[in-house]
């Protein structure tokens, strides 16, 4: 090779990773058509540039905006695009609650040409073409906004070419989790700073693309029993077969983000070094999967798809020259070991070598002119091909002085000047041709893009199963069984609370049994663990329906179509909604959507208004859930009169339970047992909580006396009601 040894065609390259910090988890665009009754028609498109996944949907959302809230929470975009002139106040208020999402109000992104055609003249995949042809114009408008946004980062190609396009309605049948349920359960963190969500607990994957699958499974738990059992079987084999789990770990550990690398390749924004690492990871996956011995049908299916997708992948690393890169710097004229497939590169190289040869031969003329036996060009401060002579040497007047020191002066003559300009042009030309060759090489690789994408998706599923098996093999976890109409959990625990217990503390497990009586009314002291019991029940059900083992001694549960959790007190100052108004809004949503296969968890319903109104609402709503919805219900309340009334009149449909406690002295000290016992209790011991919270002693004592007075009055009224009720029956 005639290119001078000190000359390397180096340049840097921009990767998709550089812009992925702006698009951490994807971008969502939505378009809203408000109506007079505060319901809105919402159209949205979500796109994740890391894996090319597109999800779109169109629906009517209630004034609570729970559907769009749920989708944002589950999909977890980092950017939300919307037309600021068409967004309603209710929707704007919901968006403000997402701390980690950057809001991008922009009319500009939603504008197209006068004919409203965003994609005219562009090449795009069949899947995208079908969506644009079949779906509504508002979906196209959202797709166009995403395209315009990506275009600003020059990565729009990954949207145009993607085949991973899903209508939200066509997702596999899954358990519905409302936005407020996801928030109340802590399924995902709304803030980047907090890392104590259910997702954080479950995410034991080795790779980023596996982590994305866990998030998707958690957002949409399965309802298909066969698919759930397939995951359970795969997890069980990984637990029992240590050689298999070790092989999977060794394969996936420290593996780069293959989905991101694949999309970088599609956009031709990947460096030779990263591409080499990417292909080597695919090649390693192919080799390891061929050696695995499996029994589980799901694992066999995954492994066979990986093998089929990555067959022949080795050819793309054979011609790469590993010494051609150093960090983010690339020596483009050495990227391939053999450039014979790229004649333009060879031609440019020959043209460059010709100039270098001319300069080499010109040294003879300079030696004769200067009367020297040997001569070499000098390079100083990035300037090549300098003629260096002593200061007293006479040189032709046509020579151009470049720089000097106390003893020497450096020149270029007109011929060298002309050749150096030509050399610079030919170097740039060679770099350009080498980069074109690289892009052509990537285009050839992208011919099998869909196959590689399938293989990586299966590796991601394998990693997700591996992560769940690490949770499932913990002490005290069991494989749940699925039954119809029966809800039985023995020794259930909340996994995150258990993990964060103080040293030398033990989590108190609890049982749950619901069958013909599908409702449990739970009473007991404040801070006794009632709310934690509600959450733990929901978490166990979600774990079970994503295929994971559950924190319990034994679990027999039905396959649920939805979970609704209404707990906590919060207002919405943006919409000027009080705490009680928000509570009633969410409860209204629950009773309109709950079915006989749903789990409803209500915590202290009606506490935000007067006692009589709260009691009346709690009783009426509970009756509706029992007789109209016929759903599984856990109902936490401090209304003692409610428990006694339902136990007498609705004993076939409900069971009463309470969290245990022990009173020492004259109610000056309360020991909480955190255990669920049969039957109801009338007292909540709020005075004890006030004492623990260090309220002044005289205030607490006075409150205790007032409470006892009210309690005696209420007991007398209840006795009179019972007396007259019994008299009427006689």
Same domain? 668 vs 544: yes
Assigned domain for 313 exists = no
Q: What is the average pLDDT value for the chain, to the nearest integer? A: 85
Give the count of beta carbons closer than 10 Å to the beta carbon of residue 416. Answer: 22
pLDDT score of 550: 97
Task: Check: CB of residue 31 under 8 Å from CB of residue 15.
Answer: no
Number of domains in the chain: 3
What does the H/E/C string look like for 634-649? EEECCCHHHHHHHHHH
Same domain? 390 vs 510: no
> Which of 450, 531, 536 has its CA nearest to residue 491?
536
pLDDT score of 563: 96
Q: Specify the pTM.
A: 0.85
* DSSP-H helix ranges across 177-292: 179-185, 198-202, 208-219, 225-240, 242-252, 258-266, 272-291
Same domain? 437 vs 490: no
Of the three residues 444, 465, 487, the one that is the final residue of a domain is 444
Assigned domain for 105 exists = yes
Pairing of strands 79-82, 102-105: parallel
604: region left, alpha or beta (phi > 0 left; psi from -120 to 50 alpha):
left
pLDDT score of 314: 92
Same domain? 432 vs 581: no
CATH of the domain at 640: 3.40.50.300
Same domain? 627 vs 679: yes
Mean pLDDT of 672-681: 88
β-bridge partners, 482:
557
Is 70 exceeded by the pLDDT of residue 208? yes
CATH of the domain at 150: 3.30.420.110
Task: Check: CB of residue 297 under 8 Å from CB of residue 236.
Answer: no
Rounded to a whole number of angstroms, the distance between the first and last alpha carbons of the chain is 113
pLDDT score of 699: 78
Same domain? 424 vs 486: no
Same domain? 577 vs 673: yes
pLDDT score of 296: 93
Model confidence pLDDT, tens digit, residues 397-439: 999 999 999 899 999 999 999 999 999 999 999 999 999 999 9
Output the CA angle 528-532-537, nearest 5 degrees: 130
CATH of the domain at 435: 1.10.1420.10
pLDDT score of 313: 93
- Whole-angstrom Cα Rg for the chain: 35
Dig out the tokens for 22 from the structure: 């702006």
pLDDT score of 1: 37
Assigned domain for 306 exists = no
Assigned domain for 58 exists = yes
Same domain? 498 vs 539: yes
pLDDT score of 119: 66
Assigned domain for 403 exists = yes
Model confidence pLDDT, tens digit, residues 247-292: 999 999 999 999 999 998 988 889 999 999 999 999 999 999 999 9
Same domain? 411 vs 557: no
Same domain? 148 vs 76: yes
Which range has the top average pLDDT, 93-102, 153-162, 371-380? Answer: 371-380
Q: What domain range includes position 670?
A: 477-694
Which range has the top average pLDDT, 27-36, 61-70, 105-114, 530-539? Answer: 530-539
Mean pLDDT of 142-151: 89
Model confidence pLDDT, tens digit, residues 302-355: 999 999 999 999 999 999 998 888 877 888 888 999 999 999 999 999 999 999
| Calpha distance 170→52 (Å, rounded) | 18
Mean pLDDT of 454-474: 96
């Amino acid at each position: 090779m005639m290119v001078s040894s000190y000359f390397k065609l180096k340049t840097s390259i921009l990767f998709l990773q550089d812009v992925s910090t702006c698009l951490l988890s994807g971008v969502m665009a939505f378009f809203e058509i408000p109506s007079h009754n505060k319901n809105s028609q919402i159209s949205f498109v979500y796109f994740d540039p890391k894996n090319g996944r597109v999800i779109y949907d169109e629906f009517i959302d209630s004034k609570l905006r729970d559907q769009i809230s749920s989708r944002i929470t589950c999909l977890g975009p980092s950017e939300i695009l919307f037309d600021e002139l068409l967004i309603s106040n209710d929707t704007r208020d919901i968006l403000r609650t997402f701390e980690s999402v950057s809001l991008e109000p922009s009319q500009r992104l939603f504008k197209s040409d006068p004919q409203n055609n965003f994609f005219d003249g562009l090449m795009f995949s069949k899947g995208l073409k079908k969506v644009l042809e079949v779906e509504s114009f508002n979906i196209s408008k959202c797709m166009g906004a995403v395209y315009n946004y990506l275009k600003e980062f020059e990565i729009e190609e990954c949207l145009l070419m993607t085949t991973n396009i899903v209508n939200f309605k066509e997702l596999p049948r899954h358990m519905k989790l409302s936005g407020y349920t996801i928030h109340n359960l802590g399924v995902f963190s709304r803030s980047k700073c907090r890392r104590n969500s259910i997702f954080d607990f479950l995410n034991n994957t080795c790779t980023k693309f596996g982590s994305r699958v866990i998030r998707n499974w958690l957002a949409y738990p399965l309802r298909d029993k066969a698919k759930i059992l397939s995951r359970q079987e795969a997890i069980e084999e990984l637990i029992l077969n240590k050689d298999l789990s070790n092989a999977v770990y060794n394969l996936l550990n420290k593996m780069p983000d293959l989905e991101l690398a694949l999309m970088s390749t599609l956009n031709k924004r990947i460096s030779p070094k990263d591409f080499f690492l990417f292909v080597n990871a695919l090649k390693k996956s192919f080799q390891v999967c061929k050696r695995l011995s499996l029994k589980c049908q799901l694992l066999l299916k995954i492994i066979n798809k990986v093998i089929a997708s990555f067959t022949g992948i080795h050819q793309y690393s054979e011609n790469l020259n590993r010494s051609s890169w150093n960090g983010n710097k690339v020596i483009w004229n050495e990227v391939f070991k053999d450039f014979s497939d790229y004649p333009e590169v060879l031609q440019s190289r020959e043209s460059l070598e010709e100039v270098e040869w001319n300069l080499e031969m010109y040294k003879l003329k300079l030696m004769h002119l200067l009367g020297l036996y040997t001569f070499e060009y000098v390079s100083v401060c990035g300037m090549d091909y300098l003629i260096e002579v002593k200061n007293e040497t006479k040189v032709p007047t046509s020579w151009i002085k470049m720089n000097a020191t106390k003893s020497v002066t450096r020149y270029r003559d007109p011929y060298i000047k002309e050749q150096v300009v030509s050399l610079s042009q030919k170097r740039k030309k060679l770099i350009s041709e080498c980069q074109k060759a690289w892009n052509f090489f990537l285009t050839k690789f992208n011919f099998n893009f869909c196959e590689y994408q399938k293989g990586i998706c299966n590796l991601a599923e394998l990693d997700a199963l591996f992560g769940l098996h690490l949770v499932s093999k913990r002490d005290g976890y069991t494989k749940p069984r699925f039954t119809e109409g029966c809800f039985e959990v023995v020794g259930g625990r909340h996994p995150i609370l258990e993990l964060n217990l103080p040293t030398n503390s033990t989590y108190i497990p609890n049982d749950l049994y619901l069958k013909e009586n599908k409702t449990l009314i739970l009473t007991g002291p404040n801070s006794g663990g009632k709310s934690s019991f509600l959450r733990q029940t929901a978490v166990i059900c979600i774990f079970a329906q994503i295929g994971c083992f559950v924190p319990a001694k034994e679990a027999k549960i039905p396959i649920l179509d939805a979970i609704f959790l209404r707990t906590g007190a919060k207002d919405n100052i943006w919409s000027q909604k009080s705490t009680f108004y928000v509570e009633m809004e969410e409860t209204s949503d629950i009773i309109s959507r709950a079915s006989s296969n749903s789990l409803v968890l209500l915590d202290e319903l009606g506490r935000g208004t007067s006692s009589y109104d709260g009691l009346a609402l709690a009783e009426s709503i509970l009756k509706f859930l029992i007789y109209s919805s016929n759903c599984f219900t856990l109902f936490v309340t401090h209304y003692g009169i409610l428990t006694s009334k339902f136990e007498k009149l609705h004993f076939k449909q409900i069971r009463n339970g309470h969290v245990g406690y022990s009173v020492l002295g004259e109610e000056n000290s309360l020991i909480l047992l955190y255990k669920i016992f049969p039957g109801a209790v009338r007292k909540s011991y709020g005075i004890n909580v006030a004492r623990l919270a260090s309220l002044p002693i005289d205030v607490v004592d006075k409150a205790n006396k007032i409470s006892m007075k009210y309690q005696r009055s209420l007991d007398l009224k209840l006795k009179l009601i019972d007396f007259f009720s019994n008299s009427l029956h006689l």
